[in-house]
Structure 1
Amino acid sequence: MTDAETLAQRVREGELRLYELEDHADPDTAATARRRLLAAETGADLSTVGDYGFDAGEADSNIENMVGTAQVPMGVVGPLPVDGGAADGEHYLPLATTEGALLASVNRGVSAIRTAGGATARVLKSGMTRAPVFKVEDVAAAGEVSAWVRDHVDRLAAAAEGTTSHGELQEVTPYTVGDNVFLRFSYDTKDAMGMNMATIATEAACEVVESETPAELVALSGNLCSDKKPAAINAIEGRGRTVSADVLLPHEQVQQRLDTTTDAIVEANTRKNLVGSAKAGALGFNAHAANVIAAAFLAFGQDAAQVVEGANTITTVDARDDGLYASVTLSSLEVGTVGGGTGLPTQSEALEVVGYGGGGDPPGSNADALAEVIAAGVLAGELSLLAALSSRHLSSAHAELGR
């Protein structure tokens, strides 16, 4: 095997390319060589980037041209009691972020939820989507393709499910725009987030469509899925898991734990999350759901770019005779407990903390439970921020914590 300095020199001389280093050395030596090359060419000190606690080979399926790790501080909130369809009991929720005061705020919401007996959460719908786009001659042909697809979902399911031992095709919905035909496939991917699974399965189904209809595949993803982009279809139809969480806080607990009143939180939610979001043309009607989702995604090894879809969250608040009712509904939370980044050492440990790492029994139950706990965490964050805004404590809280 070649040492790191020699490898770096061979790259500088043009003999090797960055992505070829693992062919000549073990993954850790290859990463060291890249750091030395970058340090020599940029003057950067990469000693902290290179100080990571696992073998670089463990990240082989997650990264190319590895130089080290980006270490984001991780904290924890809890215990957070969740009465879910899959999650049950008290949970500590690890969150990774660089935003000071975020965990303190979420933990305050968790405390309020805990004194009320916990949050209730349910996964309402589950389905990972992929929507290829086909071209046809004209609208008559588009109608023919759409009709054929509706009548032969069983054939498409056989082709798609033949590529995986876990995924199940739930439905295929045709959409036409002139000479374009989009087919939105939806899969039950069990405990996997399932994007790759859905892509591979859909490719097999597309071969059937092309062989049996006049449609010609243009792109395996036609953006009607819609992945990692703001899209109303995900806010309406859902993608990944649609999950809700709610809680009823007695009025006295609102005052004691959140330092405000039920009426003040209701007004802040209406004017900010509902009216303000509507005026802005937002797809998410919430205070900062993406804050908790992003921190959870980083901690649990989820695809961070899919925070975009997770932000499709609606927060509702009502004043009831016996307390403040608050809920969050995350229409498109894309999470998994197997595959992707969930197997990385740090993220695997975080999943152990929350209690839902790996495959569930029955399949899909662990990912459902994780979604429910994240939703309850989002609810805690919404309550705390709305309380801070309604009591005008937001800036003073940041100042007090030195953030």
Structure 2
Amino acid sequence: MSDATAVASVPMQWVGPLRITGNIAAIETEVPLATYESPLWPSVGRGARISMMVEQGIVATLVDERMTRSVLVRAQDAQTAHLAALELDARLDELRGITRTCGKFVELIGFHHEITANLLFIRFEFTTGDASGHNMTTLAADALLTHILKAIPGISYGSISGNYCTDKKATAINGILGRGKNVVTELLIPRDIVHRTLHTSAGAIADLNVRKNLIGTVLAGGIRSANAHYANMLLGFYLATGQDAANIVEGSQGMTVAEDRDGDLYFACTVPNLIVGTVGNGKGLDFVEENLTRLGCRSPREPGENARRLAVIAAATVLCGELSLLAAQTIPGELMRSHVRLERRHETTKIGG
């Protein structure tokens, strides 16, 4: 067996184009999706086609960005842990200075802490430029932990990772505080497009969203999440653009909102945990480089801007697939008919346009 790293081939298609506006950029682009679930391509393609029929397209608003890493320290008792937490709060500027020694693109923007018994969990929050930030934040957290243990009395090492981040796990704290890029996407679809292209009505989609995504998820015990299948689009997009695919776990947390506005459909997806980057591990592969370039995420811009562009494209892709699936599920038998028809094809073509 060769020691060389092999590349696993996953079928990929470019879907679209889709239209995006908002506070990051005005974009018209096709998007790459690498997946074995071949019906995903035409499903996302249908949502993309609708975005091109609406003047504003999908309005994507990036509302926050922060990558997190948590550490764990131990104290003799809860009172000592509490005093250490108060000391931490007073040293924010000092800790920011320590962080800046770890690289020019990492910045400590804040932290949260929680005490359980004699354990102090500290959740650091960073900006990381165009990197998704896994390694960058771990490096900074390690330096911060080393400094804290020397500077604050009464505490000792627990772990460089305290599971309070939370990395690659679906948790309430990520849904509340966010991890990565937090993007809200919105699309207002006129009544005639809903009927002609989705073959349903705004009221039917809004009702299904409440009964399936909201009530169904509550009954299932979902955590800060109410959507049909965000993970599908994120996995395809992540694999195609060199992201850490395991981050779809927290990425799948998000809320879909659908409203019937006098026959027009207001459709929105909030994705609070988009962990994407345009530099770093996984980005050196030829196909990733080519895909990021084609998405316009390799252009010379200020640090962080390419990653923000990638995030809003990812979030818009999520909306396209979510919209198409919910519409299909309002029609009895439509979902299964589509899967049978598309998955029995032996030849694939570019979808969308």
Q: Is 1:383 paired with 2:318?
A: no
- Distance in 1, matches of 2:237 and 2:177, equals 23
SS at 2:227 equivalent: coil
Q: CA deviation at 1:67?
A: 4.5
Question: What number of residue pairs does the alignment pair up?
Answer: 340
Q: CA deviation at 1:156?
A: 1.1
- The correspondence of residues 191-202 of structure 1 with structure 2, limited to 5 A, is 191-202=130-141
Give the one of 6, 29, 33 matched to 1:95: 33
Give the one of 128, 131, 140 matched to 1:189: 128
Give the one of 161, 168, 172 matched to 1:221: 161
Aligned to 1:334: 275
CA contact (8 A) 1:300 1:342 kept: yes
**RMSD of Structure 2 on Structure 1 (CA):** 1.2
CA contact (8 A) 1:301 1:347 kept: yes
Which 4+ runs in 1 deviate beyond 4 A? none
- The correspondence of residues 138-287 of structure 1 with structure 2, limited to 5 A, is 138-213=77-152, 214-283=154-223, 284-287=225-228
Q: Is 1:370 paired with 2:310?
A: yes
Aligned to 2:230: 289
Aligned to 1:5: none
- Distance in 2, matches of 1:296 and 1:257, equals 24
- Distance in 1, matches of 2:323 and 2:62, equals 20
Deviations 1:43-70 (A, max 9, x none): xxxxxxxxxxxxxxxxxxxxxx445210
Give the one of 253, 257, 261 matched to 1:320: 261
User: Structure 2 unaligned runs (5+)?
Assistant: 345-353
- The correspondence of residues 337-348 of structure 1 with structure 2, limited to 5 A, is 337-348=278-289
- The correspondence of residues 14-25 of structure 1 with structure 2, limited to 5 A, is none
SS at 2:94 equivalent: helix
Aligned to 1:39: none
In terms of Rg, which structure is larger? 1
Of all paired residues, the percent bearing the same amino acid is 38
Deviations 1:271-296 (A, max 9, x none): 11111011111122101110000000
Deviations 1:229-281 (A, max 9, x none): 11111111000111111100001100111111111111111111111011111
Give the one of 57, 60, 70 matched to 1:121: 60
What TM-score comes out, normalization by structure 1 length?
A: 0.82
- Distance in 1, matches of 2:25 and 2:310, equals 7
CA contact (8 A) 1:87 1:370 kept: no
CA contact (8 A) 1:175 1:181 kept: yes
Letter in 1 for 2:184: S
CA contact (8 A) 1:85 1:369 kept: no
SS at 2:235 equivalent: helix
What TM-score comes out, normalization by structure 2 length?
A: 0.94
CA contact (8 A) 1:241 1:332 kept: yes
Q: CA deviation at 1:87?
A: 2.8
- The correspondence of residues 345-360 of structure 1 with structure 2, limited to 5 A, is 345-357=286-298
- Distance in 2, matches of 1:134 and 1:151, equals 17
Give the one of 338, 341, 344 matched to 1:400: 341
- Distance in 2, matches of 1:89 and 1:400, equals 32
- Going from structure 1 to structure 2, the CA distance change for 1:229 and 1:379 (only over 3 Å counts) comes to same
SS at 1:181 equivalent: strand
Q: CA deviation at 1:322?
A: 6.0
User: Structure 1 unaligned runs (5+)?
Assistant: 1-33, 36-64
Letter in 2 for 1:108: R
Q: CA deviation at 1:332?
A: 0.6
Give the one of 241, 244, 250 matched to 1:300: 241
- The correspondence of residues 49-128 of structure 1 with structure 2, limited to 5 A, is 65-117=3-55, 118-128=57-67
Letter in 2 for 1:348: E
CA contact (8 A) 1:86 1:366 kept: no
